[in-house]
Amino acid sequence: MSQVNVVKSVGSVRRIAIIAIFIALSAVGALIKIPSPVGTIGLDSGPGYFAALAFGAAEGSIVIAVAHMLTSAVVGFPLSIPVHLVVAVLMAVCAFAFRWVNRKLGLIPAGIAAIVINGVIGSFTAFPAGGMGAVLGIMPFLVLGSAINVIIAGVAYKAIKGSRLI
């Protein structure tokens, strides 16, 4: 095995380990719920947002999408598995946007973008289940949950940014 292949495989192992650790943290966060009409809003996406900032958009997107599916599984997929798969993709987009906006404009605009995408736009995934009433009923809870997760991720990232930990 050449030196280049060893370096690539070590990088891959490190990447997989990082993703696995943050998925595990998300699983713990999935058990901490923010009371809402659907029961799938929790502290599961903070690790995904953090991973997006610290390690990359792909890593954060994977973590946050899996985290949403874990949270939904804990409460029995109340909006159906297909809808929760769509939400998982939307969450991946949130993590990607969070990293991209942070790099272009800074952490506060990135947080606002993630909260709007997840909390406001994400609320519309409840439309098939209950129309505009469901959308408006879930939106405040989703905005609050998103804000809490984004703030946790942002504070944690700022605390260790520039250290040898990331």
Q: What CATH number did the domain enclosing 80 receive?
A: 1.10.1760.20
Burial class (CB in 10 A: 0-12, 13-18, 19+), 99: buried
Question: Containing domain of residue 76, as a range?
Answer: 3-160
pLDDT for the residue 128: 84
pLDDT for the residue 31: 87
Instruction: Give SS3 for 35.
Output: coil
Tell me the mean pLDDT in the region 16-30: 93
pLDDT for the residue 112: 97
For the chain, percent of residues with pLDDT exceeding 70: 93
Domain assignment present for 165 = no
Tell me the mean pLDDT in the region 50-63: 95
Under the banding of pLDDT at 50, 70 and 90, the label for residue 89 is very high
Count of structural domains, the chain:
1
- Please name the helix (run of DSSP H) or strand (run of DSSP E) that holds residue 95, with its range, or none: helix 81-105
Q: What is the pLDDT of residues 111-165, one digit of tens each?
A: 999 999 999 999 998 888 889 998 999 999 999 999 999 999 999 999 998 787 7
Q: Does residue 11 carry a pLDDT above 70?
A: no
Q: Is there a contact between 37 and 142 (Cβ–Cβ < 8 Å)?
A: no
Domain assignment present for 77 = yes
Taking the C-alpha atoms of residue 56 and residue 86, their distance in angstroms, rounded to an integer, is 22
Domain assignment present for 21 = yes
Q: Does residue 101 carry a pLDDT above 80?
A: yes
Domain assignment present for 18 = yes
Residue with tokens 């905005």: 143
Domain assignment present for 137 = yes
